[in-house]
Amino acid sequence: MKHDSLFQSFTLPASGIQLKNRVVMAPMTNSASHENGDVSDDELAYYRERSGGVGAVITAVANVTEDGIGFDGEVGVYDDRHIEGLTRLADTIHAEGAKAILQVFHAGRLAPLHLLKGGSPISASAIAHTDMEGKDLPVPREMTTEDIQRVIQAFGEATRRAIKAGFDGIEIHGANRYLIQQFFSPYTNRREDQWGGSLEKRIAFPLAVVAEVKRAVKEHAQRPFIIGYRISPEEHYEPGITIEDSLYLVDRIADESIDYIHLSTMNFFEGSIRDQNDTRLPTVRVHEKVGDRVAVIGVGSIHTPEEAARALDTGVPLIALGRQLLVEPHWVEKVQGGREGEIRQAISRQAGRETLVMPAPLWNMVTNAPGWVPVED
């Protein structure tokens, strides 16, 4: 089979769960859940359309507390009432043959005020975020020790709910500038207590979340359960996260016997975003550091089967497709079936969102964000 490396099965090291191939669906915001955080029918249809070929689906992020919400239309996992809808979501993914992994997070200082119902965003320190237009968002409230313990426990409760809903695993979202990364980053964590300061103290919160998730799995799971962790390997900020910081973090996380580390990068094949002279691939560097203990998932600007195979040729065992599965939900099936010529290369406005089984909020996002995905009239 052409590109047969993509279709070899893979056994995750900690849980022993086997994925049918090396391709997973990357977590992507779809803004399709109901206002109360419940899963919608549009959301189920979107995942049903994209779950047939991949080995696993990592869902859009779910907030573990009400004050951790990051987007309109975000699925919730902060209350037991969400379990019914989450069960429907897990069942939908399973029915198409993929493993179902729920990504969980807290937005921290990036929680929008209009979703906080009169509350204020919280973070490791009272450092405001500056958006892409150069505008400062509201200054978050520095979390108290009680806040920190509450949120850590919420990750455990979210894991319990994911288990009860029938998911195969969860992915701890420690990337993309959200709360866990806010504790890890020297830019957003200016604390002088046990939760901040030195690198060792800045990883205390991420490691505490991992420990709490593992505790919940041990207590509630009756069968093997996947634990993954997502990181952004570097930050543009100064001071910001360096690749050396991240290598230290993943080394410690790998010692916790989880299944995988998932890097969040815009382009798998590009080097450091902090040092243009450093052309070493961050994902490969992480794999070289911890790949003997945990699986590594690479992502970013992988569009063609050739690019996917090239990424696996680096030794990284798993790759995630995001934007490509928006454009072509059946990318994996078409590659595996030798029908590469049928793969869509762009989203067609004329064909409409129904053709791609895409919720209206997501359709509006992708068709109005120049350069995110190819769009043609």
Look up residue 348 and give its two tokens. 């067609």
Measure the CA–CA gap between 12 and 34, rounded to whole angstroms. Answer: 33
Q: 190-193: list long-range contacts, CB under 8 Å, 24+ apart.
A: 190/124, 190/125, 190/127, 191/124, 191/125, 191/142, 193/145
The torsion of the CA quartet 286, 331, 371, 237, rounded to 10 degrees, works out to -20
Residue 245 corresponds to which amino acid? D
Give DSSP secondary structure letters for 161-220. HHHHHT-SEEEEEE-TTSHHHHHH-TTT----STTSSSHHHHTHHHHHHHHHHHHHHHHH
For 241, residues 6+ apart whose C-beta sits below 8 A from its C-beta are: 181, 184, 185, 186, 187, 232, 233, 234, 235
Q: Which residues are designated catalytic?
A: 178
**Spatial contact of 260 and 294, defined as CB atoms under 8 Å apart:** yes
Cα–Cα distance between 86 and 76 in angstroms, integer? 9
What tokens were used for 83? 């379990």
Query: Strand pairing of 10-11 and 18-19?
Result: antiparallel
Q: Which residues contact 198 (CB under 8 A, 6 or more apart)?
A: none
Q: Tell me how far apart the alpha carbons of residues 255 and 263 are, in angstroms, rounded to a whole number.
A: 18
3-state secondary structure at position 86: helix
3-class secondary structure, 2: coil
The residues near 131 (Cβ < 8 Å, ≥ 6 apart) are 137
